[in-house]
Chain A
């Protein structure tokens, strides 16, 4: 039997009287990949923050290799060989790869405060070579792709001789090929006897990478099972505590009316030649690897970035979209993949966020805002989209990811947008909320809206789309109908150069 690296038992934690964890537990053996799953708010992150010294536990015990320990701060966790790779990568973009890997543990020379930059780069080179990572120690991190940045984080974890590596949603920003590379590295780490805690919302992945899975719900431990002995559906029902059915794609009852046509769109090196049509009442999936140019196309159509060449037709009329204001006037709404940065005014309340893009609809005599009207509109939308919020005045930052996404949807619906571009609509959203978002997408197209859905999750694309456009390196390389699309076919076009 392998060594027991981590044992957490009866962990309690409350925030302002609300139980975030109650009697939670977790075990990790050397050479094991142990998945930790649960809906948002199930307590996974809190439990891991306790293990890494970010939060302190109220009660309970933690044993590392059989020794009971108190982990008061991140430094203690680091010294115990525990390392976490965060979902929002925690790197310093202005520093180089080597500087990031050894941050806080820089080799010194002469007097204590002087850095030894040569030694730093040499050690980084050595480390990267042992795990076969193709990275330049002197490259600035901001110039790397997300996948490479993640490699830097893993290298950083290994450099502190971490034996326990926690990966929080490591694949959420990766394309298929990059995921393969990540899994290769995970297998390598496993063979070296490291223990890996793998947090993910993508249950499809667990079979490929994990040995065991622990399910949490509402801050409690539910069960730990071997991954081979459980189906995906069983995991989901443990997570939500009830059987749920994901909505299947609503049959293609769309008309042949083309609401948006893009012809020969070009922009710099990112969009080389893109043409496609969007029909009324359909969900058009945009598939492709990271960097294929899908988000860039969306931003160009929305007027967020200028285009070099190309024509855009909305409902048959040629339009010139120079900025997002023009796009909105033509009924195009864009829901960014980075909700918190581009989609919401986080510090403002639900009502304001919903009516924000359409204030002119609610103006009174002298230009003041009719609060009775905005309140009514917000109430209607909240009901329509089933947004879970205690009041209209709740600040959006306190809502869950799924409800934040719904607030953005409400915003564009209030603005009367008929063409909605969703960029990674379910990134970082838990399983339960995901199926609600899918249901809403289906309802929207039934009402005659048209949707472009960019997604890196193939099952999502396959389940939801009526047609699928596949992009690779700035070009449209294929178009598939819902019936002919399979994961393999999409990947074939997505890797076609």
Chain B
């Protein structure tokens, strides 16, 4: 009988409860801002929020995979910028077709992720340090390659359509984010990559002793994260119609925060894509709502920081 009681309790404390909590917070934020300002719930503003979520959301999707292994990737923000700069180099400087530039940009992200993975799994450098190094390296490389100046896509107006074109009022960037999220969810829940992702974060040594090539899978996961920030870079460049080499630092923290708010455990083994998507929305609704209420930007950051800590604290209470 005791057994059943425990099971019921754990059901209450399950992922479902986590999602409900995060989703509930999102709804409450939405209602509060709608009541506080008539401009908040307008179609244009909602589209703005969705658009703002796309880039950060895609970064968060990638880093969710890494955090589930118990690792971290600090290079996603500047890695994104590096991918954007490379895309601009391919398309504007080298006059390559747009599609090659886009695929090339995504692959450059993947390459950064792959190098992260090799350094972490083969050279045994802790993820924090390895990706901190990659963060600095990609930041520097973006500045070097671009000559510290933005590269514009003025000769290829079609490039801007990748993110800013729209289907029935919804910008492509948003649709791409949703498709990316669906793919990420399939990878995480239905494929062996996803299974080993959780296995690594749950007990890496046991995974290794089960005969699984831990180094290869870990490298694959960091590479996947790289492909996601490569995609984010392509969208970012498209949205701004330019690659801005000085941008990017700080984005990694917003993305990590989104994943954590969504219930991804920094100690590994736990996390969902839906949670991360909701987490990303909470971040952008908060930023947008506070701006509409004319809260100064400096204070917006303070509030966001507080919310991140509160969200994780709520999660800790829930687990007791």
Q: Do A and B come from one complex?
A: yes
A92, B208: Cβ atoms closer than 8 Å: no
Complex Cα distance, B7 from A140, in Å, reads 10
Chain A, range 62-80, C-beta contacts under 8 Å to B: 73-75, 78
- Chain A residues with Cβ below 8 Å from B193 are 113
- Chain B residues with Cβ below 8 Å from A156 are 210
- Chain A residues with Cβ below 8 Å from B10 are 140, 143
A78, B269: Cβ atoms closer than 8 Å: no
Interface size in chain B (residues, C-beta < 8 A): 26
- Chain A residues with Cβ below 8 Å from B191 are 113-115
B206 an interface residue at 8 Å Cβ cutoff?
Answer: yes
B278 an interface residue at 8 Å Cβ cutoff?
Answer: no
- Chain A residues with Cβ below 8 Å from B317 are none
B203, A90: Cβ atoms closer than 8 Å: yes
Chain B, range 62-86, C-beta contacts under 8 Å to A: none
Interface size in chain A (residues, C-beta < 8 A): 27
Complex Cα distance, B128 from A422, in Å, reads 38
Segment of B194-202, B241-249, B301-309 in the binding face: B194-202
* Chain A, interface SS category: loop
A103, B270: Cβ atoms closer than 8 Å: no
B294 an interface residue at 8 Å Cβ cutoff?
Answer: no
A94, B202: Cβ atoms closer than 8 Å: yes
* Chain B, interface SS category: helix
A92, B211: Cβ atoms closer than 8 Å: no
B206, A269: Cβ atoms closer than 8 Å: no
A103 — nearest CB in chain B belongs to which residue? B210
Given A113-B192, A115-B192, A143-B6, answer yes or no on A74-B211 (Cβ-Cβ < 8 Å): yes
A91 an interface residue at 8 Å Cβ cutoff?
Answer: yes
A367 an interface residue at 8 Å Cβ cutoff?
Answer: no
Chain A, range 58-107, C-beta contacts under 8 Å to B: 73-75, 78, 84, 86, 90-95, 99, 103-104, 106
- Chain B residues with Cβ below 8 Å from A115 are 190-192, 194-195
- Chain B residues with Cβ below 8 Å from A117 are 190
A108 an interface residue at 8 Å Cβ cutoff?
Answer: yes
Complex Cα distance, B199 from A156, in Å, reads 15
B192, A106: Cβ atoms closer than 8 Å: yes
Chain A, range 240-281, C-beta contacts under 8 Å to B: 269
A92, B207: Cβ atoms closer than 8 Å: yes
Complex Cα distance, B2 from A156, in Å, reads 27
B198, A95: Cβ atoms closer than 8 Å: yes
B204 — nearest CB in chain A belongs to which residue? A92
A54 an interface residue at 8 Å Cβ cutoff?
Answer: yes
- Chain B residues with Cβ below 8 Å from A86 are 209
B211, A94: Cβ atoms closer than 8 Å: no
Write the nearest CB–CB distance from B90 to chain A, whole angstroms. Answer: 29
B10 — nearest CB in chain A belongs to which residue? A143
B212 an interface residue at 8 Å Cβ cutoff?
Answer: yes
- Chain A residues with Cβ below 8 Å from B205 are 90
B6, A103: Cβ atoms closer than 8 Å: no
Beyond A90-B203, A104-B211, 19 additional pairs, beta carbon < 8 A: A52-B209, A74-B210, A74-B211, A78-B211, A90-B205, A91-B203, A92-B202, A92-B203, A92-B206, A92-B269, A94-B198, A94-B270, A99-B199, A103-B195, A104-B210, A106-B195, A113-B191, A114-B191, A115-B191
Give me the interface of B with A, judged by CB distance under 8 Å: 2, 5-7, 10, 190-195, 198-199, 201-203, 205-212, 269-270
Which are the 10 A-B pairs with shortest beta-carbon distances? A90-B206, A92-B202, A94-B269, A75-B211, A94-B202, A113-B191, A104-B210, A104-B212, A103-B210, A92-B203
**Would you mind naming 14 contact pairs between A and B with Cβ atoms under 8 Å apart?**
A90-B206, A92-B199, A92-B202, A93-B203, A94-B198, A95-B199, A99-B195, A113-B193, A115-B192, A115-B194, A117-B190, A140-B10, A143-B7, A269-B5
